[in-house]
Amino acid sequence: MNIIDEIKFHYKHCLQQHNRGENYLDSIDSRIRFFRKLFIFHFLDGDDNKNRTEIDNGGDDDDLLFFIYKLNESFMENIKIDVFRKSTKNLPLSNTDIDWPRTTFLNIILQKLNYQLYFTILTRTSANHYHVLFKQKIPVFSSPSEHSVLFKEKLEQYTYPMINFHVDNYDEFLFENVLNYLEIIYIELLVSSNNHSSSSTTTAKEEPTVLLSFTLNYESIDNAYCEKKSMINGQYLSIAKVRDSQTNGYGEVVIRKKIQRSISDNSSNKLNLASFDYPDNLFLTKIRSLNNSPNHHSSPLLLRPSTCLMYDDNCLIFDSQDLLSELDNENSNQLWLQKGFSQLYFRWKNKQKNFTNSYHCFITKISIPCDKIIEKILSSSSNDCRKSILM
C-alpha cells in the first residue's frame, strides 16, 4: 500500500468511527502520531533518526526533506519551512512545533507524484470539434519556491502554500509553434502517483488526472503583447498570466510576435455571413450589424472576447475560459451548421493571416495551491478525477 492509499484508508476509518459516535476525531495527538509515523516510514525508510548514518537514495525520491512549522496566529503570513538532506543526523522529528500533516502532504507533492504538462494550439473545425494544430508534452517538477525563467539570475523565494511548476527550457519549444488568428491555446497539467509500494505485487499503470487546465484565445494574446511588451534577453517579449477560478491556480505564458504585419480595414476582409438564412431574426440582425461596422475584422460569434481583468507590474492577467463552452454556444453553432459555412470560414481565416499578427507562445510556469493538489489525489470518486482530453 502506497502512502496515498494509506491516508485514504486512515480518513475512511476516522469517518466510520465518527459516524459510530466515537470520540476519535477529538484526539489531535492521534492524527499527529499517524502522520509522523507515515512520514518516517515512507520518507526515511522507517529510521527514527536515533542511529542514523546514511540513507540509501537509490530510488526516484528527492534527497531533500521539507518540514513545515505550525502557524503562529500572530504571524499568519509567515510560514516557516526548514529543508534538510535525508542523511542529516539531527532531523527535527521530535520537534513539537512541526505541523506533521502539512509536512507529510508537502513531501508527497514533491516526491511521490509525477507531473506532465500539455501545451496545445487548437482551431475549431466544426460545430462540435477542435483540431489540434500543435501539441507538446513535457515532464515538470513541483517546487514550493519560484523563480523567473526569463532571466539568468534565478533568485528563489518560497511561495508555499502555492506549488510551482517551472518550464526553464521554454525557449526550446517557443519557436516550434505559431498562434494565428482565431486559434486557441489550451494547457493541461496532469498528475499521477509514482505507485511505488513496499509490496512486491505489480500495480496497473495509473491514468493521469487533470490537475489544472486553462485556455487563452488569440485576442487575449494579441492584447497582452501590444500592451505590455518589453525587452527581455534581447527579445521583445510579453507575459500573459491566466487564472483558473476552479483551483485558484494560474499559468504564465511568454509571447513573442512572429512577423510584423499591417492590419487592414478593407471591407473585403470581412466574413460575409448575411447571405445565409437564419431562423432567429435577432441573430440575423447581429450578423448584419457586424458587416456594417467600419472597423471590424472578426465576428464576436467566432472569436471569443478578451478576458483581461487587470494589470500588475509585469503582465496582463486574464481569466481562463471553458474550452468546451464555445461548442455549446447556440448562436455560434447555428453558423457552423449552415451548409457551406465551414469552407467559407476557412478561406476567410487563411486570408486573415495576411492582415493579422502571428505569435510564438509557450507556458513558462504554473502555480496551484497545495490543498487543491491534495484534494485531487485523495479524491475517492472517479467523477472528481477529470481525465485529459488530449491523450
pLDDT of residue 156: 86
Is 122 found in the same domain as 105?
no
pLDDT grade, residue 93 (50/70/90)?
Answer: very high
pLDDT (tens digit per residue) in 150-166: 876 678 888 999 999 99
pLDDT grade, residue 23 (50/70/90)?
Answer: low
pLDDT of residue 328: 66
- 362 is a domain residue: yes
pLDDT grade, residue 302 (50/70/90)?
Answer: very low
- 390 is a domain residue: no
Task: Give the range among 182-196, 240-254, 268-282 with minimum mean pLDDT.
Answer: 268-282
* Residue whose entry in the numeric block shows the C-alpha cell 520518507: 43
Is 283 found in the same domain as 206?
yes
Domain end position, chosen among 64, 81, 111:
111
Domain end position, chosen among 78, 95, 111:
111
Is 380 found in the same domain as 307?
yes
Per the structure, how many domains does the chain have?
2
pLDDT of residue 21: 64
pLDDT (tens digit per residue) in 311-324: 455 567 888 877 87
Range(s) of the domain holding residue 362: 113-384
Strand 142-143 and strand 230-232: pairing?
unpaired
Is 101 found in the same domain as 214?
no
The per-residue pLDDT of the chain, averaged, comes to 77
Is 129 found in the same domain as 102?
no
- 318 is a domain residue: yes
Is 293 found in the same domain as 239?
yes
64 closest CA partner among 97, 105, 110, 102? 110
Most confident among 160-169, 207-216, 240-249, 331-340 (mean pLDDT): 160-169
Task: Give the range among 59-63, 215-219, 320-324, 359-363 with minimum mean pLDDT.
Answer: 59-63
pLDDT of residue 79: 82
Q: Which residues contact 295 (CB under 8 A, 6 or more apart)?
A: 265
pLDDT of residue 194: 76
pLDDT (tens digit per residue) in 96-135: 999 999 999 999 999 999 999 999 999 988 878 889 999 9
Q: Which residues contact 9 (CB under 8 A, 6 or more apart)?
A: 1
pLDDT (tens digit per residue) in 41-61: 999 976 565 444 444 554 555
Q: Which residues contact 89 (CB under 8 A, 6 or more apart)?
A: 49, 52
| pLDDT above 90: percentage of residues in the chain | 30
Is 130 found in the same domain as 76?
no
- 25 is a domain residue: yes
Domain end position, chosen among 111, 143, 176:
111
- 155 is a domain residue: yes
Is 138 found in the same domain as 283?
yes
Q: Count of alpha carbons within 13 Å of 325, Cβ hemisphere only?
A: 8
Is 137 found in the same domain as 55?
no
Is 78 found in the same domain as 56?
yes
Q: Which residue has better confidence, 19 or 262? A: 19
- 389 is a domain residue: no
- 391 is a domain residue: no
Is 137 found in the same domain as 68?
no
Whether this model's pTM surpasses 0.85: no
Is 104 found in the same domain as 79?
yes
Question: Partners of 250 in the beta sheet?
Answer: 243, 367
- 149 is a domain residue: yes
